[in-house]
Chains A and B, each alone.
Chain A
Amino acid sequence: EDQVTQSPEALRLQEGESSSLNCSYTVSGLRGLFWYRQDPGKGPEFLFTLYSAGEEKEKERLKATLTKKESFLHITAPKPEDSATYLCAVSDTGRRALTFGSGTRLQVQP
């Protein structure tokens, strides 16, 4: 059974204070690891897909990395508009449905 664990559960940062979110996973065969952003009362917004260990992807202040056991979402010099819940999910080679972690609630204070 696929499992995804995210930490920390909540994170409060000052504007400009860089940090990282962690996603640990176990999966029989990795089809892909996904990062999403979710604002309150809305559906998840796609950020990144990572497929193999060593892969990195960047988008504005966000950078996602992948190892064989975990993924990190690095946030560089965050702004208040980066406040949201960040979700990590995996799909395995057996099916396309996603297994989600519980998310990290990020709050960036001005």
Chain B
Amino acid sequence: GAVVSQHPSWVICKSGTSVKIECRSLDFQATTMFWYRQFPKQSLMLMATSNEGSKATYEQGVEKDKFLINHASLTLSTLTVTSAHPEDSSFYICSAPASGGNEQFFGPGTRLTVL
């Protein structure tokens, strides 16, 4: 299967700071990537769709000014959590569909803890 990486795997930051999370497709190109959030013992909730060369589309209730998404190339999407607060602490996971297929492959996730 296709490989998706994320960096960092975990991060701890102070309230009010910004954190950037990278998502890379290692062996395929992805014009679209997806960002999900998972709270403890809950399932994955879609936050936004990242589109290479255009603006991201956000799900209802997700603040686009707080969660900045940049799809800089066909293999890289970044999620920046701006002015993070403790309630933003969560597990952030990205995914990318394999070229020409419907299967989506997920990164290993990034654990964000905001103190």
Mark A residues whose CB is within 8 Å of B.
Answer: 31-32, 34, 36, 41-46, 49, 87, 89, 91, 95-103
Query: Is B70's CB within 8 Å of the partner chain A?
Result: no
CB of B54 within 8 A of chain A?
no
Instruction: Please give me the residue from chain A that is nearest to B111 by CB atom.
Output: A41
Report the count of interface residues on B (CB-CB < 8 A).
24
B100 → A minimal CB distance (Å):
12
- The dominant DSSP class at the B interface is strand
- With contacts A46-B103, A49-B103 taken as known, whether A99 is within 8 angstroms of B109 at the C-beta atoms is no
Residues of A within 8 A of B106 (CB): 36, 43-46
Could you list which residues of chain B lie within 8 angstroms of chain A, going by C-beta atoms?
1, 4, 6, 32, 34, 42-46, 49, 91, 93, 95, 97, 102-109, 111
Q: Are B43 and A103 in contact (CB under 8 A)?
A: yes
**Which of A42, A96, A102 is within 8 Å of B104, CB to CB?**
A96
In contact, A96 and B97 (Cβ under 8 angstroms) = yes
